[in-house]
């Protein structure tokens, strides 16, 4: 699978922390942001994103695309995310993330990542005295520290700044978030640190539909070509009112991706 560019990765990560995310986790398996409010009671959610092509003004997923990862999220009756399974194809290990909770509480205690049932790493969650998530720490199965995340919250409890460190405590990336008066993420400035040549600043700005889902994302990146792109999002919904198909059309590059979600509900 072709890796995302930094700009595309920033858009994907930021997009997954706002209300359209399939779960309360972003790509780094933390929940330091708003989560999607589901209609009904989902039991499982299966999702995949495909490159798309147009025909007569309509977009269709590229069924010939290979190495498209499929992710399945499982929820318990209380609506808590319990498991995440990632599958690419039969030749690669199945990656599973199991979420552990504090007894008698909706608060996550840990996320355990496994490949073919063998534990690879573990994320521990940190909270303040008001039970608000303020950071995580990641260790390998042998106890080696591989990373840390620290979150500063605003007065409403939203993450206003996130800092990402290596296992040796080196600052790798910093994100500064802006929200509107109803708590929607409207902007994110991402600063990546990799030496003088690799330092980078990417800006993402969002607009929203009336239902809380993003309508557009504009990305500014001085090191990219072009330096500014704009992506618009359209959605299709199931009978419960949850989106099951999203088209992300990059107006600048004239390209698109289609994300499909199949949701099974508790009866």
Two tokens, residue 120: 């690879």
Residue 31: predicted pLDDT:
37
Q: Over the stretch 105-128, which tens digit does the pLDDT of each residue have?
A: 888 999 999 999 899 999 999 999
Two tokens, residue 10: 């920033």
Percent of the chain with pLDDT over 70: 86
Strand ranges (E), the chain: 42-55, 58-61, 70-75, 81-87, 95-101, 108-115, 118-127, 133-140, 145-153, 159-166, 171-179, 185-192, 200-208, 214-221, 228-237, 243-250, 255-265
Pick 90 or 107 by higher pLDDT. 107
Q: Is the per-residue pLDDT at 21 higher than 60?
A: no
Residue 15: predicted pLDDT:
52
Residue with token string 């990373």: 147
Q: Over the stretch 151-210, which tens digit does the pLDDT of each residue have?
A: 999 999 899 999 999 999 999 999 999 999 988 999 999 999 986 667 899 999 999 998
Q: Rounded CA gap, 199 and 192, in Å?
A: 5
Q: Is the per-residue pLDDT at 19 higher than 90?
A: no
Residue with token string 């042998």: 142
Q: Is the per-residue pLDDT at 10 higher than 70?
A: no
Q: Is the per-residue pLDDT at 91 higher than 80?
A: no
Q: Is the per-residue pLDDT at 22 higher than 50?
A: no
pTM for the model: 0.85
Residue 56: predicted pLDDT:
85
Two tokens, residue 70: 């499929």
Residue 187: closest CA among 32, 64, 17 = 17
Contacts of 116 (CB under 8 A, 6+ apart): 93, 94
Residue 25: predicted pLDDT:
36
SS3 sequence of 181-230: CCCCEEEEEEEECCCCCCCEEEEEEEEECCCCCEEEEEEEECCCCCCEEE
Q: Rounded CA gap, 231 and 47, in Å?
A: 20
Residue 3: predicted pLDDT:
43
Give whole-number Cα distances, 190 to 10, 135, 221, in Å: 8, 17, 10
Q: Is the per-residue pLDDT at 146 higher than 90?
A: yes
Let me know how long the chain is. Answer: 267
Q: Is the per-residue pLDDT at 20 higher than 70?
A: no
Residue 100: predicted pLDDT:
95
Two tokens, residue 168: 């040796």
Two tokens, residue 126: 């940190």
Choosing among 3.40.50.10680, 3.30.530.20, 3.30.930.10, 2.40.160.190, the CATH entry for 6-265 is 2.40.160.190
Residue 32: predicted pLDDT:
31
Enclosing H/E stretch for 46: strand 42-55
Q: Over the stretch 56-73, which tens digit does the pLDDT of each residue have?
A: 888 999 877 777 889 999
Q: Is the per-residue pLDDT at 36 higher than 80?
A: no
Q: Rounded CA gap, 113 and 25, in Å?
A: 14
Q: Delimit the domains of the chain by residue range.
A: 6-265
Mean pLDDT, residues 234-253 taken together? 96
Q: Rounded CA gap, 244 and 169, in Å?
A: 40
Percent of the chain with pLDDT over 90: 64
Residue 34: predicted pLDDT:
43
């Amino acid at each position: 699978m072709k890796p995302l560019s930094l700009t595309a990765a920033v858009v994907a990560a930021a997009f997954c922390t706002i209300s359209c995310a399939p779960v309360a986790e972003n790509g780094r398996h933390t929940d330091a942001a708003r989560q999607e409010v589901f209609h009904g009671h989902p039991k499982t959610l299966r999702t995949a994103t495909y490159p798309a092509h147009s025909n007569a003004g309509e977009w269709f997923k590229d069924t010939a695309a290979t190495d498209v990862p499929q992710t399945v999220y499982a929820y318990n009756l209380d609506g808590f995310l319990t498991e995440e399974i990632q599958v690419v194809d039969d030749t690669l290990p199945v990656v599973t993330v199991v979420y552990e909770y504090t007894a008698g509480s909706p608060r996550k205690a840990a996320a355990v990542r496994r490949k073919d049932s063998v534990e690879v790493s573990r994320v521990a969650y940190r909270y303040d005295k008001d039970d608000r998530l303020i950071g995580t720490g990641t260790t390998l199965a042998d106890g080696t520290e591989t990373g840390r995340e620290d979150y500063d919250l605003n007065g409403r409890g939203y993450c206003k700044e996130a800092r990402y460190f290596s296992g040796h405590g080196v600052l790798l990336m910093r994100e500064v978030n802006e929200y509107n008066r109803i708590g929607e993420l409207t902007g994110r400035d991402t600063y990546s640190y990799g030496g003088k040549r690799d330092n980078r600043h990417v800006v993402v700005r969002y607009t929203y539909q009336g239902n809380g889902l993003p309508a557009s994302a504009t990305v500014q990146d001085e090191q990219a070509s072009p330096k500014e792109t704009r992506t618009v999002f359209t959605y299709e919904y199931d009978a419960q009112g949850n989106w099951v198909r999203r088209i992300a059309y990059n107006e600048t590059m004239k390209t698109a991706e289609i994300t499909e979600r199949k949701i099974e509900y508790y009866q």
